[in-house]
A and B are shown apart, each in its own frame.
Chain A
Amino acid sequence: MSREVHTLAPDEFLDEVHSFEFWFHSIQGYLADAEYGHRPGTPESELPPDRRERLITVLCNYCIGETAALDGASGLIGFAPNRQAKIFLATQVVDEARHLEVLIHRLAELGVKDPEAEIQRRATRSLQAFRRRLLELVAGKDWEAGIFAQNVILEAMEFAAFQTHARNADPITRELLEGIIKDERRHMGFGENDLGRRLSATPHVRARLQQIKRELDPLVLETFEEMLAELDVPREERPELGRNYLETVERLGFTS
């Protein structure tokens, strides 16, 4: 029987969860038997043409988000402030690459002949703009802004969108999204906790991040709206989906 996890010392806990070893044994639990993100025996559904088209549009935009996260996480490693953050981000890079791969594979399963071209054709303006701004922040080696944009804002948006989508998706897409959501918990948690520690130590950083939040919020909301419309989520349920993001930024002390 293992030791009670909650008796670990704080430093012991952080060392444990930021290790490659922890990541490896975590993903084995839910990916060991999967092929391209889903169980091999999961049946393919016959989707009506309109629903299939809209699913392709949504998956193409998920690919944009995951590509942004892949580029962002790999860029952040170079100027991460410590070993724990570098190792964690290395595991995140692998996660994001896997997400991109399984989403592209799903597009091919849905009959998309040239997924790369289709992704560019169907990408929304707001998500493309978000991606460009995120990569500018990373290129500027701004750790707090990069982590905020990527691991707090982008990850919280993806977490909410994927959870909503998974509830109403066909079985293969659902399994694929559920696997991604499990990875996203780590990414989101890393972002909030790293930034929370930094803001506690250097509260003056908050004003700069508040400005970035003001700049990115409209793009996040527009992306949400576009995706949720494609997913047929009723308008009255949409504010609920942004709640996770709002709760996260409130915990970090940001205002709307």
Chain B
Amino acid sequence: MNDTVLREAENESGKPRQRFILEDTGFNEVPKKYRRFYRRQTGPGDTLAPNEVICPVCKVVIRSTRELREGDRVYCMPCMSRLVVVRTDSGHLEAHVVY
């Protein structure tokens, strides 16, 4: 899923973050005003955009209006989890639950 890149802004630690306009993906498990922040995985060929991570608890894709970076806090509303974005040894970003 590729959202529209809105602008390159937010100069944090020297490198600007991409911003995204989130499109409705048909995700219907949270109230309407929050639906654009989530989507379902579509299968093995599904690749994550820079503004997306997978919730380890319920496997829904969490989306943000900005490119995600290590240390960012994100929320999974479908399963009510608070998460932090971490960089794995292989260099990928993934979300870990914060209790």
Contact = CB atoms under 8 A, between A and B. Distances in A.
Interface of A: 2, 4-6, 8, 10, 13-14, 16-18, 22, 25-26, 29-30, 182, 185-186, 188-190, 192-193, 196-197, 199-200, 247-248, 251
Contacts, number: 83
Given A29-B28, A29-B35, A4 B64 contact: yes
Nearest to A189: B79
Nearest to A16: B77
26 contacts: A4-B37, A4-B64, A5-B37, A6-B64, A6-B73, A6-B74, A6-B75, A13-B75, A14-B80, A16-B77, A17-B77, A25-B30, A26-B30, A29-B28, A29-B29, A30-B28, A185-B58, A185-B79, A189-B58, A189-B81, A190-B80, A193-B57, A193-B97, A199-B99, A251-B56, A251-B97
Nearest to B34: A5
A8 to B, nearest CB: 7
Query: How big is the B interface, by class?
Result: 20 to 34
Contact of A182 (B29, B34, B74, B76): B29
Contact of B31 (A25, A196, A251): A25
B75 A8 contact: yes
A153 B64 CA distance: 31
A25 B30 CA distance: 7
A236 to B, nearest CB: 18
Given A4-B64, A6-B64, A26 B57 contact: no
B69 interface: no
